[in-house]
Amino acid sequence: MFPVAPKPQDSNQPSDRLMIEKQQEEAEWESINVLLMMHGLKPLSLVRRTDLKDLIIFDKQSSQRMRQNLKLLVEETSRQQNMIQELIETNQQLRNELQLEHSRATNQEQRANDLEQIMESVKSKIGELEDESLNRACQQQNKIKDLQKEQKTLQ
């Protein structure tokens, strides 16, 4: 067997690791950009130039914290928007229930008024019938008296 020659990449291992870290960081920034755009915000620009005069450069730790902070802010904003939407929906549901209960109360009130009118009508009719009954009784009693008087006069 022949001796194995060292791979050319072995000498470039630190630069490969840096390249992988850079690609991971870029992927994280792209992920943040997607979140930002989903919320109607403008994406951040990643610069791939060597011209650095108009740039501010952050160390890896600061860059990582900024990505985490942006991600947390966007997630928190999303959570709050969901909560607001739920509150709006709950509020609408409560308004609908209130309107339904108000409608039921109005219907019950109308029904009570209708029943009260019916009751008054029945009371009035009962009074009329009682009066008619008393009048008939009085008339019959008067007829009986008249018949008794006639009978006496006939005797």
Which amino acid is present at 36? L
3-state SS class at 45? coil
Q: Report percent pLDDT > 90 for the chain.
A: 46
Phi-psi group of 115: left, alpha or beta (phi > 0 → left; psi -120 to 50 → alpha; rest → beta): alpha
Q: Does a structural domain hold residue 127?
A: yes
Q: Does a structural domain hold residue 133?
A: yes
In terms of residue numbers, what domain contains 82? 26-42+60-154
What would the two tokens of residue 61 be? 């730790």
Which amino acid is present at 48? R
70-114 confidence digits (pLDDT tens): 889 989 998 999 999 999 999 999 999 999 999 999 999 999 999
Q: Does a structural domain hold residue 123?
A: yes
What would the two tokens of residue 64 be? 């990582």
Its pTM surpasses 0.75: no
Helix axis angle for 13-38 and 60-154, nearest 10°, is 30
| Number of structural domains in the chain | 1
3-state SS class at 46? coil
